[in-house]
Amino acid sequence: MSYIERIGVTSYRFADLKTLMAKASPLRSGDQLAGVAAASEEERVAAKIALSNVPLRTFLNEALVPYESDEVTRLIVDEHACEAFSPVAHLTVGEFRNWILSDTTTTKDLERVTDGLTPEMVAAVSKLMRNQDLIVAARKRPVVTRFRNTIGLPARMSVRLQPNHPTDDVKGIAASMLDGLMYGCGDAVIGINPASDSLSAITALLVMIDDFRERFQVPTQSCVLTHVTNTISAIEKGAPVDLVFQSIAGTQQANSSFGISLALLAEANEAALSLKRGTVGQNVMYFETGQGSALSANAHFGVDQQTCEARAYAVARRFAPLLVNTVVGFIGPEYLYDGKQITRAGLEDHFCGKLLGVPMGCDICYTNHAEADQDDMDNLLTLLSVAGTNFVIGVPGADDVMLNYQSTSFHDALYVRSVLGLRRAPEFEAWLEAMNVIDEQGALLSSTGRQPLLESAQGWGGVR
């Protein structure tokens, strides 16, 4: 089915829904690279107007990626809940936007329709929204998950402590990890990107983190962000695995380029669940995504990169993860050119994930060859924190010395907590207070107050 919209004396024709969605997307370099972006702002406006008049039901009948050849499409279609969809089934995309933003639409209303929404529906409505719309709508839709603590509660924000090291040196990782804990970070996860994928190196890191967690009874979870098959092997060999990590994308072919399938993710999920290591919940998966991943694998099928990204959240939703992280500026300026595009993408991803019931966090980041700087990261950190992001990343000095990109720091988390009054996960916050790291209001104590934990950690992990 084609779509036509007239602006002035010019008529714009969009061959199908996939084309219409792409042309309605805000400008980004990835869609230009793929050849699917609008040729002008006027064409983009025409596409938005046409898209606003598309009934939501259309997305159930017109697959952007063929059902027969794509297991992600099959997952989206086969698990669609008609009853949950019924409250909004009569709406167009534009009317759906108004319904979401209405003061009379509550959190419970948004929760009720979650299983009736497809990624394509939420991607479509996001294209009609300003940044402030994405913020206010996402803020209305908290998603709470649990393992050893509770993440995603309103007025709280967690931090992934990311103590990476270019050679996986245990002493260096331990020092960065202790540094982060002293700043009150680590309630989302203590998560290491290993330089090596050898099973022995991965196991050594898992054992090191678990030793510290057990020694000091820290109510958090650990993860070594290696390929899912490595984590399955580690589980089989008895390693102390809390969360299973995997990068995911929005098409079967893109996921195949990562060496994964839905069946493999299901196997990993079951393996982690069998360990029963959670204390307050059993959300055991940790997924990372990012706009441009399908395009970089030449597996986007002409679908715009933001819609492909939203489809990845259907994969995530299937496995009830503890954390989902859009690594928003990591792939590079070929996909998100500058700070403006990175900011918009981060807000889109967070909104789409939350509306689909996914516990969204964000690695607010950029590569050194992007037209972006740390001021852009400050802006996006502030906007996402207002929007209710579940977690952000904490890297020493905001500079990841192993992955060689710029993110957010332990100090940045302190800034946004101070400005917005955001607390940590309640169980983790209580532990920090008991260890004299923070006071009862959540503020850091002086270095003197934190000294007992530092002294008791002497010698652990080789730290001096």
Binding residues: 160-162, 193-194, 246, 288, 296, 363, 402
Tell me the one-letter amino acid at 132.
Q
Residues placed in the known binding site for adenosylcob(III)alamin: 194, 246, 296, 402
Rounded CA-CA distance 409/420 in Å is: 17
Q: Which H or E run contains 327? A: strand 323-327
Q: Percentage helix, strand, coil, to 5, in the chain?
A: 50, 15, 40
The H or E element spanning position 316 is helix 305-318
Residue positions in the annotated binding site for substrate? 160-162, 193, 288, 363
Within 8 A by CB and 6+ apart from 276, the residues are: 282
User: Concatenated DSSP letters for 171-194?
Assistant: HHHHHHHHHHHHTT--SSEEEE--
Q: At what angle do helices 119-126 and 17-24 cross, to 10 degrees?
A: 40
Using alpha carbons only, give the angle 412, 417, 420 rounded to the nearest 5 degrees.
Answer: 120
Q: Is 219 left (phi over 0), alpha (psi -120 to 50) or beta?
A: beta
| Contacting residues for 334 by C-beta, under 8 A, at least 6 apart | 29, 30, 33, 292
Strands 10-14 and 3-7: antiparallel
